Amino acid sequence: MRAPALAALFCGATFIALSPIWVRVADVGPTASAFWRVALAVPLLWGIVACLPRAAPTPRRDLGLLAAAGVAFAGDLAFWHWSIQATTVANATLLANLSSIFVTLAAWMLWRQRPSGLFLMGLALALGGVALLVRASLGHASGALLGDAYGVVTAMFYAWYLLTVKSLRDRGAATLRLMAATTTLTALVLLPLALASGETLLPSSARGWLVLLGLAWITHAGGQGLITFALAHLPAAFSSVGLLLQPVLAAAFAWMLLSEPVGALQIAGGLVVLVGIYLARRASA
């Protein structure tokens, strides 16, 4: 197991775990922060792509899949940012990580790839953990349950994005070029949504722009880029377990930086969800 890849995996998970903090402290609305997250990353990503050996253009037959990936990622970011604002950071991040379970369920329904008993056990545990998280949300603000629902929808959109990107990768799409293209398309989808939302679109200070740059460059470009590098050099089963560090770190950052309490019921639900996701990913590896 290569040490640089292992370091990249954990650094990438840490960078992505910071994203709920950026969203919470941003002085723009959740849809607007989702837009800036990708829009500010576009020049950086295409600049990196320009430094790489020239790759073949995307075949016309793949343009539909590429557009679908952009729409899916836009839905993922929009619903996750809404979830972060409405419920606890721990719940929003844990529920978004149910995407791996939805990927296997989609393969079952669309391609008749029957899941194993171990996956079904993981699914049952994850659902039990979700029930505990929802129960814990009853003690928070009235919008917390809606935020939890947004977290589940986030996982569905991210599962769609992962399946679409996998299809494009299987057809030979280069990773960084694919990331730059989907990020650009996602920004184009999110811009009209942000304008129509009525939210504050532009930061009011230099600090506000720095927060959005951190979200775009550290979390999106840095975090996703490091994880992409790590996945190419580490066993898939180990990587999937290592990425479960992300919701744990997100909850810890929210506790330390936002003074967001984590109750016993929420801890129990989070642990059950993590075990369920671990079993589901192991069964699908």
Specify whether the CB–CB gap between 215 and 26 falls below 8 A: yes
CB atoms within 10 A of CB 109: 9
Specify whether the CB–CB gap between 260 and 80 falls below 8 A: no
pLDDT tens digit string along 14-64?
Answer: 899 899 999 999 999 999 999 999 999 999 999 988 887 776 677 777 788
Query: What span, in angstroms and rounded, lies between the C-alpha atoms of 224 and 253?
Result: 19
> Which comes out higher in pLDDT, residue 185 or 117?
185
> Which comes out higher in pLDDT, residue 214 or 170?
214
> Which comes out higher in pLDDT, residue 194 or 143?
194
Interval 59-70 mean pLDDT: 86
Query: What span, in angstroms and rounded, lies between the C-alpha atoms of 206 and 219?
Result: 19
Number of structural domains (the chain) is 1
What pTM did the predictor assign?
0.86
Residue 135 one-letter amino acid: R
pLDDT tens digit string along 92-109?
Answer: 888 887 877 787 777 777
CB atoms within 10 A of CB 160: 21
Tell me the HSE value of 184 on the side-chain side, using a 13 A CA sphere. Answer: 14
Q: Is the pLDDT of residue 284 over 90?
A: no
pLDDT tens digit string along 123-161?
Answer: 788 778 777 776 766 666 666 788 889 999 999 998 888
Q: Is the pLDDT of residue 280 over 80?
A: no
Q: Which residues contact 33 (CB under 8 A, 6 or more apart)?
A: 22, 23, 26, 81, 212, 215
Residues in the chain, total: 285
What is the domain extent for residue 240? 3-284
Query: What span, in angstroms and rounded, lies between the C-alpha atoms of 97 and 110?
Result: 21
